């Protein structure tokens, strides 16, 4: 079964063709990062226009590269939320038009869940798939979500952020340190040369049993520290590196500790990880170190952590397999599958 998948929820236009839920036949990602960088963040209207002008040439390129004819496609899958409304509309109109023109059934997919379902893409095939029930952790620019997912794909949101998502905090602190948008990866690159013990930054006090996250207080503490360091003439390359390392350690420790709590409560058969921040080396290492002796840990290749259409196809396949009723309404704050 071949699924053509479409992703346009934020600042990446992406299309993929996935066979039988695990074999990636073709995958293209057109990133708008350079365009939004000059504005210091994603400008929704600019994002929509970029998706509009990029998406059709991207399909032509994908079909050419793979040698696949559109008539060979069995399903079309599209991100229906969460995301930027205008950006979602472009991808959904495109997918609906193709679906009508070529009489191919359409499936609407949740972008956040799809981030961790990217782990079903694996050349070995279904025998290497994660077992259910599974515990999913998605750490991205807009979400920090822990979800428990059972064998029928029924999912329960166990923990999320009250304010800023982890990726958002990375980007805001990166900007304070002097990097353009999105600065998360750049911050983590200089953090390697810093000492994470130099600055003791605060952790949100949400209660030991809480699975909620909050990163806005941390961001404010970093802002205060940067101002102090600048005022006292101590703002230099080394303090920037030490601050990056201290911040990164704080966020990673918080995420890993909360996830451990969720793990202990659910005892899942596997752990599936995903989202842009999952490209972070410290986070990857700490999660593997903490959990690999206890559970089967699935960690995507770095290239499949940030937004992409391959993950949309992977979740769509599981939804078809588990006979999940199709929903197509666009929802910018979608929470259901
Ligand atoms: O999943 P994603 O592409 O977009 C959303 O769905 O939100 O995640 C993008 C986020 C950005 O905040 C970016 O700074 C962050 O992922 N990111 C990283 C790293 N690579 C990307 N954060 C920390 N360390 C990294 N290496
Ligand atoms: Zn995403």
- Domain of 249, CATH number, reads 3.30.420.40
Report the pLDDT value the prediction gives residue 328, as an integer from 0 to 100: 98
Alpha-carbon distance 91 to 86, whole Å? Answer: 9
**What's the sign of the alpha-carbon dihedral 230, 233, 237, 240?**
negative
CA-based nearest residue to 300, from 79, 82, 31, 117: 117
Residue 251: predicted pLDDT: 98
* Best of 140, 285, 299, 332 for a ligand 1 pocket test (most atoms within 8 Å of beta carbon): 140
Q: Is the dihedral of CA 259, 260, 264, 265 positive or negative?
A: negative
Ligand 2 centre and the CA of 221: distance in Å?
A: 27
* Residues 59 and 152 reside in one and the same domain: no
pLDDT for position 5: 99
**Does 273 map to a domain?**
no
With the CA atoms of 267, 270, 275 and 278 taken in that order, what torsion angle do they form, in degrees rounded to the nearest 10? 90
If asked whether residues 36 and 112 sit together in one domain, one would say: yes
Q: Is residue 308 located within the same domain as residue 212?
A: no
Same domain for 32 and 113, yes or no, is yes
Q: How far is the CA of 311 from the centre of ligand 2 (A)?
A: 10
Half-sphere exposure of 101 (CA within 13 A, CB side): 10
Tally of domains within the chain? 2
In a domain, 308, yes or no: yes
Q: Which atom of ligand 1 has the smallest separation from the CA of 274?
A: 1
CA of 234 to the centre of ligand 1 (A): 29
47 within some domain:
yes
Residue matched to tokens 């390129």: 61
- Domain residues for the domain of 237 are 134-268
- Which run of H or of E encompasses 222? helix 216-231
- The answer to whether residue 69 is domain-embedded is yes
Beta bridge partners of 157: 147
By the CB criterion, residues less than 5 angstroms from ion ligand 2 are: 140, 307
- pLDDT score at 207: 86
Question: Does residue 282 lie in a domain region?
Answer: no
**Residue 205, pLDDT score:** 82
Q: Which residues of 34-47 are buried (b: 16+ CB within 10 A; e: fewer)?
A: eebbeeeebbbebb
Helices 166-177, 237-266: inter-axial angle, 10-degree rounding: 170
Cβ(321)–Cβ(77) below 8 Å: no
**Rounded distance, CA 118 to CA 107, Å?**
17
For residue 7, how far is its CA from the centre of ligand 2 (angstroms)?
A: 10
Check whether residue 160 and residue 212 sit in a common domain.
yes
CA 320 from centre of chain = 22
Nearest CA owner, ligand 1 atom 4 = 141
Query: Phi, psi (5° rounding) for residue 26?
Result: -165, 150
Structure tokens at 172: 């805001």
**DSSP structure string for 257-275:** HHHHHHHHHH--SEEEEES
Is residue 204 domain-shared with residue 85, that is, in the same domain? no
Q: Residue 140: its pLDDT value, please?
A: 97
300 neighbors 273 (Cβ within 8 angstroms): yes
Residues 138 and 120 in one domain: no
> Rg of the chain's alpha carbons, rounded to an integer?
20
Ligand nearest the Cα atom of residue 305: 1
Q: Which residues lie with the beta carbon below 6 Å from any ligand 1 atom?
A: 10, 140-142, 167, 170-171, 182, 184-185, 188, 275-277, 279-280, 306-307
Classify residue 12: in a domain, yes or no. yes
Instruction: Tell me: do 312 and 197 sit in the same domain.
Output: no
pLDDT for residue 208: 84
Minimum CA distance residue for ligand 1 atom 20: 185
Sheet with 270-274: list strands edge to edge. Answer: 155-159, 144-149, 134-139, 270-274, 296-298
Task: Tell me: do 243 and 313 sit in the same domain.
Answer: no
pLDDT of 3 reads 99
Domain contains 279: no
H helical segments located in 38-104: 44-66, 85-102
> 140 with 241, same domain?
yes
Q: Same structural domain for residues 223 and 152?
A: yes
Pairing of strands 155-159, 144-149: antiparallel
Q: Going residue by residue through the chain, which has 337 residues, state the pLDDT in tens, using 9 for 90 and above.
A: 999 999 999 999 999 999 999 999 999 999 999 999 999 999 999 999 999 999 999 999 999 999 999 999 999 999 999 999 999 999 999 999 999 999 999 999 999 999 999 999 999 999 999 999 999 999 999 999 999 999 999 999 999 999 999 999 999 999 999 999 999 999 999 999 999 999 999 998 898 899 999 999 999 999 999 999 999 999 999 999 999 999 999 999 999 999 999 999 999 999 999 999 999 999 999 999 999 999 999 999 999 999 999 999 999 999 999 999 999 999 999 999 9
- Count other Cβ atoms within 10 Å, centred on residue 299: 18
Output the CA 114–ligand 2 centroid distance in Å.
Answer: 8
- Same domain as 75, residue 147: no
Identify the DSSP state of 24.
Answer: E
How far, in Å, is the centroid of ligand 2 from the Cα of 238? Answer: 32
Nearest CA to ligand 1 atom 13: 184
**Does residue 333 contact residue 81 with C-beta atoms inside 8 Å?**
yes
Tokens linked to 303:
């290239």
Do 12 and 50 contact (CB within 8 A), yes or no?
no
pLDDT at 93 (0 to 100): 98
Residue ID of nearest Cα to ligand 1 atom 16:
276
Domain assignment of residue 160, yes or no: yes
């Amino acid at each position: 079964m071949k699924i053509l998948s479409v992703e346009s929820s934020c600042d990446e236009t992406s299309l993929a063709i996935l066979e039988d839920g695990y074999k990636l036949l073709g995958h293209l990602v057109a990133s708008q990062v350079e365009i939004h960088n000059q504005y210091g963040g994603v400008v929704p209207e600019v994002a929509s226009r970029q998706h509009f002008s990029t998406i059709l040439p991207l399909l032509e390129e994908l079909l050419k590269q793979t040698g696949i004819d559109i008539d060979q496609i069995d399903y079309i899958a599209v991100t229906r939320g969460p995301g930027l409304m205008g950006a979602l509309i472009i991808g959904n109109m495109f997918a609906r038009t193709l679906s009508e023109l070529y009489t191919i059934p359409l499936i609407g997919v949740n972008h956040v869940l799809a981030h961790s379902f990217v782990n079903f893409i694996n050349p070995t095939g279904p025998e290497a798939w994660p077992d259910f029930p599974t515990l999913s952790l998605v750490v991205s620019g807009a979400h920090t979500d822990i979800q428990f997912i059972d064998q029928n794909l029924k999912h329960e949101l166990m923990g999320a952020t009250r304010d800023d998502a982890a990726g958002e905090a990375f980007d805001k602190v990166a900007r304070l340190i002097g990097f353009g948008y999105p600065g998360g990866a750049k911050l983590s690159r200089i953090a390697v040369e810093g000492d994470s013990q130099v600055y003791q930054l605060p952790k949100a006090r949400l209660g030991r049993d809480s699975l909620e996250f909050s990163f806005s207080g941390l961001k404010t503490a970093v802002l205060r520290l940067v101002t102090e360091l600048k005022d006292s003439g101590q703002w230099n390359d080394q303090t920037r590196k030490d601050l990056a390392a201290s911040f990164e350690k704080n966020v990673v420790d918080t995420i890993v500790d909360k996830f451990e709590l969720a793990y202990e409560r659910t005892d899942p058969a596997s752990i599936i990880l995903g989202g842009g921040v999952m490209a972070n080396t410290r986070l990857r290492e700490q999660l593997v170190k903490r959990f690999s002796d206890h559970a089967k840990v699935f960690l995507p290749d770095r290239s499949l952590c940030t937004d992409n259409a391959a993950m949309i196809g992977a979740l769509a396949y599981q939804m078809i397999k588990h006979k999940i009723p199709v929903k197509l309404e666009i929802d910018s704050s979608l929470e259901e599958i």
